[in-house]
Amino acid sequence: MAQKARRKNKELFALGNEAVVEGALLAGCTFFAGYPITPSSEIMEVMAQKLPRTENGAFIQMEDEIASMGAVIGASLAGRKAMTATSGPGFSLMQEHIGYACMVEAPCVIVNVMRGGPSTGLPTSPAQGDVQMARWGTHGDHPIIVLSASTVQECLEMTIVAFNFSEKYRVPVILLIDEITAHTREKITIPSERDYEIFSRVLPSMPPEWFKPFEETTRGVPPMAPIGSGYRIHVTGLTHDPLGYPTQRPDEVEEFTHRLFRKIDQHFADIVLTEEYETKDAEVAVVAYGSVARSAHLAVDQAREQGIKAGLLHLKTLFPFPRAALEKLTRRGAAILVPEMNMGQISREVKRVNAGRVRVRTINRVDGQIITPSQILKNIGQM
Amino acid sequence: MNANSHELNRFELRLSGLGGQGIITLGKLLGYGLAIHHGYYVTQTQSYGPEARGGSSRADLVISSNPISYPKTENVDLLVALSQEACNEYYGVLKPNGVLVIDTVMVTQTPTNRFLGAEFTNYAKDKMGNPLTLNTIVLGAITHLLPFAQPRLMRKALEENMPAKILELNKKAFNLGQREAKKRFGEAPEIWKKAAEYAEEEVIEALE
Amino acid sequence: MSQVTQLIHQYLRHNKRFPHVYCPGCGHGIVLGSLVRSVHNLGLSKDEVCLVAGIGCSGRMAVYVDFNTVHTTHGRALTFATGIKLANPELTVICVMGDGDALSIGGNHLIHAARRNIGVTALILNNNIYGMTGGQCSSTTPMGSRSMTTPYGQLENTFDIVELAKAAGANYVARSTAFHAKMMDAQISQALSRPGFSLVETFSPCHTQYGRKNQFRTVVDMYQDLKVRSTPLEKWNEMDPAKRGDKFPIGVFVERDEPGLEERYMAMAEGLRKKEANA
Amino acid sequence: MPPKKGQTCVFAYPDWCKGCGLCVAFCPAKVFELGPTGKVRVMHEEECINCGFCELHCPDFAIAVLPKGENGSCSADLHVAQEIRQKMKGYEKG
């Protein structure tokens, strides 16, 4: 039986927040800067405990979230795999530096444990109100990757994925978790080294005088030279040329912006992660993410028991939006149900991709409570 | 999965009471034991923030042989209420065939006459000489109550999670809880059978 | 005295459109020279120096020197510097900021960097004004001064950077002016060779945005003014406070050798790991 | 080292000078003056006492004070200025 193999791996009974730390450490994270905020604080607390015991690990509690993100980028530029964790209000503050990270292409991971908002909102209640902000929170056009996790095990796995994507594409990666997943304890299995892949940024292989730190490569992602490695590059939040120096030349500016987008666009297939459940013959497909995907899973089972052909498209990558997976369902004519704990942030994307082809219905729950399986089931029945 | 464990499909359990009674620790221990040593799928959630600071405390567990989709409790199979307030508030989520366990020192007005009661608080104070052992005593009692829980494995969970200094005391408290539960509540399979029968009778009565 | 200018040229990125962007007589160029000399005199290699700059005129400095340079966001340079230093304590991290940068938008970061004694040298180029954005008042614009946003005179009190850094717990605090380049050389060298958080404030006249609006005929007048008003600390301490008038003290205000945060952290981590290995 | 006149050569690079006048105002030996183009000129090199003020305080690195060569000439050091110019040319962008 497969259980024998599984027993070799370490098992923990852990919070979603704790699982994030386990994933980060497996991915090679050695730097954490943060500021306490409910409901993400456990991530920071466990990091404070574990990082000094990790080879080269460094942890710092900064004076606010702006500073945390600044320190994270600084550490990233100095060659570390770095992360921070926060929640709504702190995420708002971080936007300034998330833009900077996009601009200088500094790999970093930001975990946002979503709670009710806007403003201080509902500090201890779940919501999914930061989805569009994760995509468009910082000013200016920018590419970014937004992931989500729905179970405690996924918190671990998606944190590894987040680090891998950020290192591979030199882009900040935002992992959205909601309060429910963050504060649920479940058994998780720590994968052994064979079970997962770790990606680290590509270092330049040419001598410093030939190196153009922001030049497009065949991979679309320029190699990255850490501070102090002899390359003495200039990093700036101003729009820059391939050498890294500020430019206002229209041709250089345009090329720069296009390159930033291209490096994500040309790797959609790698970045866009979804999971399908019972969708093959589904007449009603639920599109869900985060803890709501768990409720939807049970609701689909219950609907099937009642003879309704329901299915689930579970979005693990939220941005770039999994267009192809959704189109596969809408082309076949499946009606779409989008339950989310916000006023319709992913359903906007769903409707945009659907372009009126099939019926799209939404469940928008904003009372600080999780969407229950029975609520989804009722709506499936009404489609 | 442990060889002699029961096949379970979503068993829901709520532990409730006052802050300071060790409810959250109890939930974590119970969840740890069932997940790591019994091999069940377990999700454990709890009350947070102002809710938790208001004096009440709550930990919920869902236990299943299969992966758990919805992690929260909807209809509770076993409700443990260690305060009057908790008992009043959560009795409504107990399934008709569910079992209610109360601390008879703390809960004086029960919403039903079908309950299992024991003076857990007094056991901790008088028999163990330490009020802080309350939650471990309750853990012992719950372990006895759950037909799929094995005392041996729960003790292992205790050993792995308790600081060495207080381990012996807590092992004693666990045994005490188990013993008292056996004495007062009877054997577990009987309790659950009775609860199921009762619920059925109620349905029939309602139909008549 | 010789080879001063030649030396500076060894550290400049000559392809970055010299002469630099600063207005005629701007003190920032003098500070840049002083910084280069200090790094050179300490025998630091270009590779081990990381210059982190904020936004504003001072922020432009990063582009001109051939170190590892990071041009960050407004007011936040110290947060990046903190991350860099903690990630690689081997680096000599210098954080160049203006007064608006370090004290207005970045005031909180400044006091916390000083408090936690992170091993970074903060170089604050105080020109009493927002130069780059067009001459708005900053938190160091003297009371009564005119600026684009205080057309009838500044009504607010100003920050005394030295006193602020002292109170916040910096390891080393010094002040000089662009007129006192030699003193600045000594102070920056001192700051760079010390552990923990060092702060050097230097008055750097801005004639374009501040001087013109405040009765300074030429930029030379502003240097003359610095020359007259600056008072060596020893003399300042002996002065009758009633007679100090609009003079200000220059010199070294705090000299301590407390280990920096990164050192303390590494020591703690090492201790933890040793304990674990023995257990 | 006591200041001594006539032991130095003073160079000013007009390309880099912005004509702020600091050197003119503060040079104790009055070596400099501003020319008709507003840029600095070395007028009284022989008066230079090698105090170093101008080199330290020129915000634009446009002044170099160098010791005289063995034969008392300054030409030996002209190449420094040449070198810098050469360097800049090489980097000039389109």
Nearest alpha-carbon partner for A98 in A31, A107, A258, A316: A107
Strand blocks (E) in D29-77 = 32-34, 40-42, 63-67
Amino acid at D87: K
Measured CA to CA in angstroms, residue A328 lies from A281, B189, C238, D57 at distances of 12, 50, 84, 70
**pLDDT above 90 coverage of chain D, percent:** 47
> If you classify domain A10-190 with CATH, what class do you get?
alpha beta
**Local structure of B123: helix, strand or coil:** helix
pLDDT at A298: 94
Structure confidence at residue A211 (pLDDT): 95
Cβ atoms of A83 and A72 within 8 Å: the answer is yes
- Residue A68's contacts (CB-CB under 8 Å, 6 or more residues apart) are A33, A34, A35, A62, A84, A86, A90, A94, C79
* pLDDT tens sequence across C218-274: 999 999 999 999 999 999 999 999 999 999 999 999 999 999 999 999 999 999 999
Cis peptide preceding A118, ω within 30 of 0: yes
Question: Given pLDDT bands bounded at 50, 70 and 90, which one contains residue D89?
Answer: low
pLDDT of residue C1 exceeding 50, the answer is no
How many folded domains does chain C comprise?
A: 1
d(CA B109, nearest CA chain A) in Å: 30
Helices and strands per DSSP (H, E), number in chain D:
3, 4
Q: Is the CB of residue C261 less than 8 Å from the CB of residue C86?
A: yes
DSSP state of A242: T
Shortest CA distance from B40: residue in chain A: A187
A152: chain B residues, CB-CB within 8 Å: 43
- CA torsion C247-C252-C254-C256 (nearest 10°) is 180
In a domain, D79, yes or no: yes
Interface test with B, best of A11, A152, A154, A187 (most B CBs within 10 A): A187
CATH class of B11-207: alpha beta
Q: Which residues of C touch D87 (CB under 8 A)?
A: 9, 14
Q: Model confidence over C164-212: pLDDT tens digits?
A: 999 999 999 999 999 999 999 999 999 999 999 999 999 999 999 999 9
pLDDT at residue B207 is higher than 90: no
Q: What is the CATH number for C145?
A: 3.40.50.970
Q: In this predicted model, which residue has the larger pLDDT, B142 or A217?
A: B142
Query: φ, ψ for residue D92 (rounded to 5)?
Result: -55, 135
Interface C:D, Cβ pairs < 8 A: 98
Average pLDDT, chain B: 91
For D37, other C-beta atoms within 10 Å of its C-beta total: 10
Before A204, cis peptide (omega within 30)? no
What is the model's pLDDT at position B55?
76
Q: Which helix (H) or strand (E) holds A360?
A: strand A360-364
Check whether D48 has a pLDDT greater than 90: yes
Q: Does pLDDT of C14 surpass 90?
A: no
pLDDT band per the 50, 70, 90 thresholds, residue D91: very low
- For residue D75, the domain's CATH number is 3.30.70.20
Give me the CATH topology for the region A274-381. Answer: Rossmann fold (3.40.50)
Chain A interface disruption, residue of B62, B70, B93, B160, most A CBs within 10 A: B70
Closest residue to A71, CB basis, from C13, C46, C79: C79
CB contact under 8 Å between B71 and A123, yes or no, is no
Q: What b/e readout covers A115-153, taking b as 16+ CB neighbours within 10 angstroms?
A: bbbeeebbbbbbbbbbbbbbbebbeeebbbbbbbbbbbb
Most distant CA atoms of chain B, gap in Å: 59
Tokens representing A211? 């190196």
A274-381 shares the fold of A10-190? yes
The answer, yes or no, to whether residue B123 has pLDDT greater than 60, is: yes
Q: What's the pLDDT tens digit per position in A315-352?
A: 999 999 999 999 999 999 999 999 999 999 999 999 99
Q: What is the pLDDT of residues B178-191, one digit of tens each?
A: 999 999 999 999 99
For the cut 70, the answer to whether the pLDDT of residue D82 exceeds it is no
Q: Over C90-111, what HEC string results?
A: CCEEEEEEEHHHHHHHCHHHHH
pLDDT of C109 higher than 90: yes
Within an 8 Å CB–CB cutoff, is residue A80 touching chain C? yes
Sequence-separated (6 or more) residues with CB below 8 Å from residue C188: C34, C35, C38, C121, C123, C200
Listed in sequence order, the residues at least 6 apart from A305 whose beta carbon sits closer than 8 Å to its beta carbon are none
* Beta carbons of C15 and D58 less than 8 Å apart: no
| Segments making up each domain of chain A, as ranges | 10-190, 208-271, 274-381
Mean pLDDT, each 10-residue run in order, chain A (383 residues) = 55 97 98 97 98 97 98 98 98 98 98 95 94 97 97 98 98 97 96 93 94 92 96 96 95 96 95 97 97 96 97 98 96 96 97 96 96 96 92
Are residues A301 and B50, on separate chains, in Cβ contact within 8 Å?
no
What pLDDT sits at residue A3? 44
In angstroms, how far is CA C231 from the centroid of its own chain? 19
Confidence band for B1, pLDDT divided at 50, 70 and 90: very low
What span, in angstroms and rounded, lies between the C-alpha atoms of A349 and A357?
Answer: 14
In a domain, D2, yes or no: no
Domain count, chain D: 1
Q: What domain range includes position C92?
A: 3-277
Residue D93 scores a pLDDT above 50: no
Return the structure tokens found at A378: 């009722």
Task: Tell me the chain C residues in contact with residue A98 when contact means C-beta distances shorter than 8 Å.
Answer: none
